[in-house]
Chains A and B, each alone.
Chain A
Amino acid sequence: MYRYDSYDQSIVDARVEEFRDQVQRRLTGALTEDQFKPLRLMNGLYLQLHAYMLRVAIPYGTLSGKQMRKLGEIAAKYDKGYGHFTTRQNLQYNWIKLADAPDILAELATVEMHAIQTSGNCIRNISSDQYAGVSADEVADPRPWAELLRQWSSFHPEFTYLPRKFKICVIASDDDRAAMKLHDIGLKLVSKDGVIGAEVYAGGGMGRTPMVAPQIRDFVPEEEIISYLEACLRVYNRYGRRDNKYKARIKILVHEIGVEDYKRQVEEEFAHMRTLGLNPPTEELDRIRAFFANPAYDTGLDEEIDLADPAFALWVDRQVAAHKAPGYAIVNISLKPLTGIPGDASAEQIELVATLAEQYSLDELRVTHAQNLVLPHVKKTDLYAIWQKLEEAGLAEANLDLITDIIACPGLDYCALANARSIPLAQKIAQRFAAAERQAELGELKLKISGCINACGHHHAGHIGILGVDRKGVENFQLSLGGSGAEDTSLGQITGPGFSEDGVVDAIEKVTDLYLAQRESGERFLDTYRRLGMKPFKEAIYG
C-alpha cells in the first residue's frame, strides 16, 4: 500500500488546521453560512437531512487495518456507532457535530486519510477495481496509476473550480468491476507491443442524463497519461457549461460538440501539453509502484478447502474469488444482510474487519463500488476461521451479485436531495427473495436503487434498476431493465408507469418469473432481457 511521504502528510495536516480555524470562525459568527459552505464542502462536510454528514475519501478503495480501525473508532466516538460505505468507495458518517469535524479530520490524518475533494466541482476520489493487484487477468496493477492521479489531482490549482464535479476510474482488466465507462474519464490499462498504456474513455456518467463514455483514444503510453488527462480536463474546463449545473458535466460537452470534435480539441491541447514537460519523472512512478509490489506471499500452501460445513461451502461458492497467488483467495464480505441497510457497518463490524485484514489479509482490505468489502490476500486454509468470525458478526451473507446484493443510496431516510426512500425498498425486495435457493436459481442479477435522479444508487446500470420519484408528495418508483456497469456497459430502459413500494416489488417478481420461464441455457437475467427485448417483460408487468 502507498504510504504518505512528508509532503503528503504536511499538506493534509495543514488542511486540518486551516479547517479548524474556519470552523471556529463559523461558530463565532465571523463567517456566514454562505461564506462557510464552500469551505466545509471542500472538506467533505455536508449539511444533510438530519445533521452534518462527513464523506471520507478511501483512495481507490484501498485501506489498511489501521485505517479501517480508525474509521470504526470515529464511528463510535463521534457518530452514532456506524458508517455507510458508498458507491464511490467512500465512507460517510451521518451524525457529525460541526465542532467535532476538525478533530475527526485530525484523527483521520494520523492514519493518512482525509475528506479533501469528496465534494465540490473538482476531481473527486479516484476509483478502481477492488481486485486490483490480485486478479490474474489484469495487465498491470492499476493502483500505482490511481495513486499518481490522486497526487496529481489533489489541490490541482487549474482544476479546483471545474464546471462540475469530475470522477476518474482506472482499471486494468477486461472484466470491469468498477463501472469504468460510467465515469467522466475512464482509463483501462492495456499492453500494446509490450508497452503499458491506457485506453481512454470520456464523457460517461449517470445522473439525470446517463451516458456511456465513448473511447477517445485507443492508447496513451503510460509516461504520457498525465499530460493527456491535463488536455482532457483543459478542454472541458474551457468549454464545459457553467450556466446550467444540469448541463455542466463533461458528458454534456462531449455530446453537444460531438466525440470527434472533442477528440480533435484534446489532441491539439495534448500536442501543446507535450511541450510543457508536465509528465511526472519516471522515478516518481517507480517510487509509487514500489509501494504496490506483490507482498511476500507464502509458498507451498494447501489448495484444498474443507467444505464439509454446508453453510460454509455456500459462502465459499458465492463470496470467494480466485487469487493470482497459489494457495490464496479473495474474500468478498457482504454488507447486504437481508434485514440490514446496504453499505452500513457498525463500529464493531468495522473493527472486526480491520482485525481480519491484519490477521489474515496481509493488512489490507478494499471497499467496492457495490458497497461491499474485500479481503484481498487470504490463505485458503484460513477461510473457515474467517467465515466463522464473519458469521458471528452478521457479515457472512452469501449473496455476492445475487438479487439481494442490492446497491442502494441512502435515499430519503438520510439525503436532502432524495425524493423517495431507497433502503426500505431494498429491504422489502431482499425479504421477498430471501430464500437462498431462489437467489441461486436467479443467478447473477444486479439490482440497484436510487432515491432521486442523481443516481447515486447506479440504477441506470442495474440489470434491474429502480428510481424513486416524488409524485405529488408520495413516493413512486420507476422500474428499468437492461442496465450494466460491467464490461458490457449499457443503460437500463424504463418499463413504463411507476409503482408504489409494494407494487414495484411485485413487478420485480413478475420480471424474474418471466426470466426463469424464458431463459436459455447459461443465460443470466441480463442476457435473456437482451435477447427478448422489453416487450415481453412489459407485458408481464402491466398485462
Chain B
Amino acid sequence: MKILTGNDLVSGDVIWWAGDGWSRQVGDSADVSDHGDDLARTEEAALRVVGAYVIDATVTDEGVRPAHIKDRIRALGPTVRPDLNLKPNDADAGNWVI
C-alpha cells in the first residue's frame, strides 16, 4: 500500500493521512493509491502539513508498517527514549522498527 506522511505545520508532529484528515498514529493510515502527490499538494496549500511525501507500507498483524526503517522510527519516535515514543508502556516497542 501507499501511505502519505508529513509534519504538522504548527507543531511539527509526525502525521499520517487517515483518509479524512491527519492522525498521529501510523495505524490510522489510509491507502492513498496513486493520489498521494495530489493530496500532499492540497494539504500543504491548506497549511495542514509540511514536507508531505508518499511511502510504501504493508499491513501486518500489528497494523500498518512503513517499509523503510526511517519511516518506522518516524512512526514510533526515538527508540532510545521509550518514554517519549508512541508506545511508552511497551518495553519492546523499539524492536518494531528493526
Contacts and interface: CB of A to CB of B under 8 A. Distances in A.
Interface of A: 26-29, 33, 47, 49-52, 80, 95-99, 341, 412-414, 416, 418, 421, 423-424, 427, 470, 473-475
Contacts of A413: 73, 78-81
A330 B69 CA distance: 43
B9 A27 contact: yes
A52 B31 CA distance: 26
Q: Dominant SS at the B interface?
A: loop
Classify chain B: how many residues form its interface, as a range: 20 to 34
Given A33-B44, A80-B84, A98-B12, A474 B69 contact: yes
Nearest to A426: B80
A47 B12 contact: yes
B80 A51 contact: no
Contacts of A27: 9-10, 47
Contact of B11 (A51, A423, A475): A51
18 contacts: A27-B9, A27-B47, A33-B44, A49-B14, A50-B77, A96-B12, A97-B11, A98-B10, A98-B11, A341-B81, A412-B70, A413-B73, A413-B78, A414-B78, A416-B70, A427-B80, A474-B69, A475-B69
- Describe A's contact surface by its main secondary structure: mixed
Contacts of B73: 49, 412-413, 421
* Residue from the set A49, A80, A423, A427 with the largest chain B CB neighbour count within 10 Å: A49
Interface string B41-64: 000110100110000000000000
Q: Which 8 A-B pairs have the closest CB atoms?
A: A51-B12, A52-B12, A413-B78, A423-B80, A97-B11, A29-B47, A413-B80, A33-B50
Interface string B1-45: 000000101111110000000000000000000000000000011
A399 to B, nearest CB: 19
Contacts of A414: 78
Contact of B69 (A341, A424, A473): A473
Nearest to A95: B12
A419 to B, nearest CB: 8
Contacts of B11: 51, 97-98
Contacts of B9: 26-27, 98
A423 B9 CA distance: 28
A50 B67 CA distance: 17
A50 B68 contact: no
A52 B14 CA distance: 10
Contact of B10 (A97, A416, A473): A97
Contact of A47 (B51, B67, B70, B80): B51
Contacts of A80: 84
